[in-house]
Structure 1
């Protein structure tokens, strides 16, 4: 459907595990507060320092099932064959209708679902400078077991192969540069 006057274009940021999607989104949130960023719901447990309602909305499997059954999610997926993640639909639609620049920071499966329902969105692929750097970031994070790391790296190989499905690619060499490239794509100027 064509964009309505006054309505913003949704930007969907996706990429492989450990590429820095969360770090880039947090920097956008900090330096560009005019950008509305969706808070995903997830069934996984919080990592150290994560706050419910800020980083994610942490929900039970039963609550997630209710959200799916009542079509409250724009997209959802089981990620790394473990926890489920999803984007609550209502807040996204409200932000866009209000004319606010809006962004989703989601995984590849979610981006594909959003493309089905909102093909007018701008799909941005966040890519690591190299495979070795992606492995270093995942291991350096220290939040996963060895088995989880191996599972995430296997998924990352598939995710990297999906780059051609996106409208634009940003290489995340340095967070500040990636953020500025992203907000420029959103039609916003550099931070002052």
Structure 2
């Protein structure tokens, strides 16, 4: 007898660079391969590049569920369009200073790039609590604890 496939309501995880989103998503994927990420994606088959004029034309035609990579505007678009019914998770750092420390420890960016990311992060963090748009706001202070909370939320045993 074939096992019944697991159906998970889409989860959108966002937060500033350096907060641990990728690590938490990788942990979910490692525990449940193929449910949270897709393997074997290839250009022209599962994702496409278009010119800026073509991209603007697609936006005008409402071809995207969302396309705005700034602050909370993208999330409002997703909720208003109601094409899919995802749950939204925002990952926060324990403090702004800790976020800066994490970004600098990466040693992958220039000081100017880090400052730009920190400016964007500050705006995001100021808006997240006031927006009321997130189903869960998770402070990633301890990776194991954060993962357990996220896992519980994903599988429906927590609504933090």
Q: Give the TM-score normalised by the residue count of structure 1.
A: 0.59
**In structure 2, how many angstroms separate the alpha carbons of the residues matched to 1:140 and 1:52?**
31
Pair 1:52–1:7, CA change in 2 (3 A): closer
* 1:30 corresponds to: 30
Shift of 1:65: 4.6
Pair 1:52–1:34, CA change in 2 (3 A): closer
**In structure 1, how many angstroms separate the alpha carbons of the residues matched to 2:22 and 2:111?**
21
Bigger helix share? 2
**In structure 2, how many angstroms separate the alpha carbons of the residues matched to 1:137 and 1:74?**
31
**In structure 2, how many angstroms separate the alpha carbons of the residues matched to 1:108 and 1:38?**
25
Shift of 1:185: 0.9
**In structure 1, how many angstroms separate the alpha carbons of the residues matched to 2:48 and 2:107?**
21
Of residues 59, 77, 98, the one that matches 2:49 is: 59
Give the match's secondary structure for 1:125.
strand
Structure 1: which 5+ residue stretches go unaligned?
Answer: 1-5, 40-50, 80-106
Q: Where in structure 2 are the equivalents of 1:89-128 lying within 5 Å?
A: 108-118=72-82, 120-128=85-93
Q: Which has the larger radius of gyration?
A: 2
Q: Give the TM-score normalised by the residue count of structure 2.
A: 0.69
Shift of 1:172: 0.9
CA RMSD of aligned residues (A): 3.4
**In structure 2, how many angstroms separate the alpha carbons of the residues matched to 1:34 and 1:188?**
19
